[in-house]
Amino acid sequence: MVAGGTVGVSYTWLVPRQGTWAAGCPVKTVRWIFLDGGLAVKRFAITLIAALVALAPAPVAAERPAREGLPAAPFTLDASICGFAVDLAFPTNREFITTFSNGKQIITGSLFVTLTNEQNHKSLTINISGPGSIVTSGRSLIFFFPGQLGPGSPGLLILTSGPVTIVSDPAGNIVSFDRTSASVQDMCSALADP
């Protein structure tokens, strides 16, 4: 206790003057100086430590990807694509879409489609399993309605094996369709043969 009713407090701080602070590195030639001071030194030290902690890179917290099933209900493509209506049914559908925190999506699993010509009832069952993404690299069944690939373009129903890139504008209009696949099969022709 000091005259006048104030209490004098003395803190001793160890501060490195020279050395290596990197984790896992040995500290060499460290000399220590001793600082004696009151509340101002304590505040400075706490502020310095808080600033160093705030500037330290935080570990990236990776979120677990979301995985969900991809339902595929039967539907019919009208005659504008092949010249005859084509029914699509999915006898095997065990496909999933995995969405990562960065927005990337990957489609995996087993998917088979049965294509049926409504006129002659010829059917083909094909494996169109992934993996796939916006740029596909596996087997893909792709169809476009007439005019969808540009004015006057015919309808298209193809099975591809290999890279396919479809680019659309913000309104959903197809800007480009690039197929560099080693294999492209015209499914309209395959279904048209008796």
pLDDT tens per residue across span 77-133: 999 999 999 999 999 999 888 888 876 778 888 899 999 999 999 999 999 886 655
Rounded mean pLDDT, 21-36: 41
Residue with the larger pLDDT of the pair 8 and 176: 176
pLDDT score, position 43: 57
Rounded mean pLDDT, 18-33: 40
Q: Residue 124 — left, alpha, or beta (φ > 0 → left; ψ -120 to 50 → alpha)?
A: beta
CA 107 from chain centre, in angstroms, equals: 10
Band the pLDDT of 157: cuts 50, 70, 90.
very high
Query: Is the per-residue pLDDT at 39 higher than 80?
Result: no
Q: How many Å apart are CA 179 and CA 161, to the nearest integer?
A: 9
Distances (CA, A) of 116 to 5, 12, 27, 84, 133: 98, 86, 75, 10, 26
Q: How many Å apart are CA 167 and CA 14, to the nearest integer?
A: 62
Rounded mean pLDDT, 145-166: 87
Rounded mean pLDDT, 146-164: 88
Residue with the larger pLDDT of the pair 153 and 175: 153
Q: How many Å apart are CA 166 and CA 177, to the nearest integer?
A: 5
Ranges of each domain in the chain: 11-55, 66-192
133 within 8 A of 126, measured Cβ to Cβ: no
CB neighbourhood size of 162 (10 A): 15
